[in-house]
């Protein structure tokens, strides 16, 4: 991340080519118990952008690996866009139909 931001700063300072950092596809994590993390659009932003998307959710209590590790609090939520183009939703797989 620091290298990306340094490239933006260098381009702006030396070449006077105005660029801004794009943080829309950068993931983040809050180290709590359970952890909170995100990559890409959330539902609010997907609605604001007018995207046609589908939500898939699974509670960790229903997930075999989470059960085996005894880590059942929490859930996973993935947004799938129905179009082939990828605007940066939470998952980059083929669209659901």
Q: What is the pLDDT of residue 37?
A: 83
85's torsion region: left (phi>0), alpha (psi -120 to 50) or beta?
beta
pLDDT in tens, the chain (97 residues): 888 889 899 899 998 888 888 877 777 788 887 678 888 888 888 899 888 888 988 888 888 888 898 888 888 888 888 765 555 544 433 333 3
Q: What is the pLDDT of residue 9?
A: 92
- Alpha carbon distances (Å) from 9 to 3, 23, 86, 96: 10, 15, 28, 39
Q: What is the pLDDT of residue 93?
A: 39
- 2 forms beta bridges with none
């Amino acid at each position: 991340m620091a290298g990306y931001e340094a490239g933006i700063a260098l381009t702006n300072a030396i070449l006077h080519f105005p660029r801004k950092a794009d943080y829309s596809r950068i993931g983040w994590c809050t180290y709590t118990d359970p952890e909170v993390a995100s990559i890409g659009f959330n539902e609010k932003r997907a609605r604001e952008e007018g995207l046609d998307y589908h939500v898939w959710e699974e509670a960790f209590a229903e997930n075999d690996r989470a059960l085996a590790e005894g880590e059942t609090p929490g859930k996973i939520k993935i947004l799938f866009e129905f179009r082939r183009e990828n605007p940066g939703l939470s998952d980059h797989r083929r669209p659901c139909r």
